[in-house]
Amino acid sequence: MQTILLTWWTWYIWSHWAVKLLELGYDVVIIDNLSNSDKSILEKIQKITWKTPKFYEWDLRDKNILEKIFKENNIKTILHFAWAKAVWESCEIPFYYYENNLAWSINLFEIMNKYNCKNIIFSSSATVYDSIWNPPYIETDLTWNTTNPYWTTKFLIENILKDLATFKSFKVVNLRYFNPIWAHFSWLIWENPNWLPNNLLPYVMKVATWELKNVKVFWNDYNTKDWTWERDYIHILDLIDWHIASINFIENFDNNKWFFEVFNLWTWTATSVLEIIKITCEVTEKNIPFEIVPRRPWDLDKSFCNPEKAENILNWKAKYLVKDAIKDSWYFIKNNSK
């Protein structure tokens, strides 16, 4: 099996990819500066897979360490997840986001080109679509008019990779998704931040366990079914399987041809903030208090996409519902709080 490099793997979401790839027999190499993650996840991955990936504790700003990684490992494919990703933070410190998400990525692409490693799966987002269009978005819809620096960096890297496919023969699978939720079925790796969560479901769960007072609902005048914004949520296990399908797509593609292929990843069902709260109330049999607070400048009424292209070409469909993820999350919390 080939060797795959993961960037920024130890954060909650991307550690799942290390598990899946090791279980499938791939050799896994990782680079992470541990800026907002924990090296102890290595031990959890070893418990799940009985294997330990090769780990480099560094970041992408250092070309020397990237050279070292490519010299020491016969890397064939990159899963690129190395991002600063908090929307509100990107508005506060945009220059950090431009450096972290753009400059560091360009370092990686340059070393990839030098060592003739042209296969990359990029973690993009449905937020690159121009907000003037009505969802569900399809891959040919215009991308532009982003509303915050984080989303802008996603848009710009997509276009850089498109250029590298055209002029440097990169093979790029560009995956657009939005809100991964829940965790690995072993319940050893999941999203339970020690700080105030940026994502809705872990925030709601911390209210359910009385760690937080209430859920902040950012206004209720959106053009949606219940006046709160709607998003696409996808179970982490579905998202992993779509990435494995993307690796197979690259491996089976004509070796002499470059491409830049975009896929939306989604479940066909948009869920509002109040629906997330209501489902959590049903699952936990608890009251989840919420408070209507002022709208944030970057929030859109609706953001979700059409996944038909991915279903047809990658031959994969989402199997899990939002309620499945909430049930799994609550099961984990109950069994780890005793």
Tell me, letter by letter, the H, E, C secondary structure of the chain.
CCEEEEECCCCHHHHHHHHHHHHCCCEEEEEECCCCCCCCHHHHHHHHHCCCCEEEECCCCCHHHHHHHHHHCCEEEEEECCCCCCHHHHHHCHHHHHHHHHHHHHHHHHHHHHCCCCEEEEEEEHHHECCCCCCCECCCCCECCCCCHHHHHHHHHHHHHHHHHHHHCCEEEEEEECEEECCCCCCCCCCCCCCCCCCHHHHHHHHHCCCCCCEEEECCCCCCCCCCCEEEEEEHHHHHHHHHHHHHHHHCCCCCCCEEEEEECCCCCEEEHHHHHHHHHHHHCCCCCEEEECCCCCCCCEECECCHHHHHHCCCCCCCCHHHHHHHHHHHHHHCCC
Percentage of residues in the chain having pLDDT higher than 90: 52
User: Is 150 a catalytic site residue?
Assistant: yes
Q: Which of 81-95, 205-219, 306-320 has the lowest mean pLDDT?
A: 81-95
pLDDT digits (tens, 9 = 90+) for 32-46: 887 766 777 888 888
Handedness of CA 294, 305, 149, 147 (dihedral sign): negative
Task: Evaluate whether 333 touches 205 at the Cβ level (below 8 Å).
Answer: yes
Domain 3-180+233-264 part of CATH 1.10.3720.10? no
**Between 49 and 196, the higher pLDDT residue:** 49
What's the pLDDT at 132?
75
Question: Measured in whole angstroms, how far is the alpha carbon of residue 110 from the centre of its chain?
Answer: 23
What's the pLDDT at 154?
94
255: confidence class by pLDDT, cuts 50, 70, 90: confident
**Between 254 and 329, the higher pLDDT residue:** 329
Alpha-carbon distance of 216 to 209, in angstroms, equals 16
Is the per-residue pLDDT at 73 higher than 90?
Answer: yes
- Rounded to a whole number of angstroms, the distance between the first and last alpha carbons of the chain is 41
Mean pLDDT of 229-257: 88
Alpha-carbon distance of 268 to 331, in angstroms, equals 25
What's the pLDDT at 52?
86
Task: Evaluate whether 230 touches 304 at the Cβ level (below 8 Å).
Answer: yes
pLDDT digits (tens, 9 = 90+) for 133-155: 788 899 999 998 888 999 999 99
pLDDT digits (tens, 9 = 90+) for 154-168: 999 999 999 999 999
Q: Which of 49-58, 107-116, 137-146 has the highest mean pLDDT?
A: 107-116
Q: Which of 6-10, 64-68, 291-295 has the lowest mean pLDDT?
A: 6-10
Is the per-residue pLDDT at 281 higher than 90?
Answer: yes
Alpha-carbon distance of 85 to 214, in angstroms, equals 24
What's the pLDDT at 325?
86
**Between 277 and 303, the higher pLDDT residue:** 277
Cis previous bond, 94, omega within 30? no
Using alpha carbons, select from 257, 259, 309 the residue that is nearest to residue 140. 309
Task: Report long-range pairs for 93-100 (Cβ below 8 Å, ≥24 apart).
Answer: 94/149, 97/149, 97/150, 97/153, 98/149, 98/153
What's the pLDDT at 186?
60
Mean pLDDT of 252-278: 90
pTM of the model: 0.90
Is the per-residue pLDDT at 201 higher than 80?
Answer: yes
Q: Which of 26, 97, 150, 233 is catalytic?
A: 150
Q: Which of 24-33, 34-43, 68-77 has the lowest mean pLDDT?
A: 34-43
Q: Which residues pair with 308 in a beta bridge?
A: none
Task: Evaluate whether 228 touches 217 at the Cβ level (below 8 Å).
Answer: yes
Average pLDDT, the chain: 88
Alpha-carbon distance of 56 to 28, in angstroms, equals 11
Question: Measured in whole angstroms, how far is the alpha carbon of residue 88 from the centre of its chain?
Answer: 17
Is the per-residue pLDDT at 195 higher than 70?
Answer: no
Q: Which of 130-134, 167-171, 201-205, 228-232 has the lowest mean pLDDT?
A: 130-134
149, burial (CB in 10 Å: exposed 0-12, middle 13-18, buried 19+) = buried
Percentage of residues in the chain having pLDDT higher than 70: 91
pLDDT digits (tens, 9 = 90+) for 206-222: 999 998 999 999 989 99
Is the per-residue pLDDT at 1 higher than 70?
Answer: yes
Q: Write down the domain spans for the chain.
A: 3-180+233-264
Is the per-residue pLDDT at 71 higher than 90?
Answer: yes
Mean pLDDT of 95-121: 94
What's the pLDDT at 253?
84
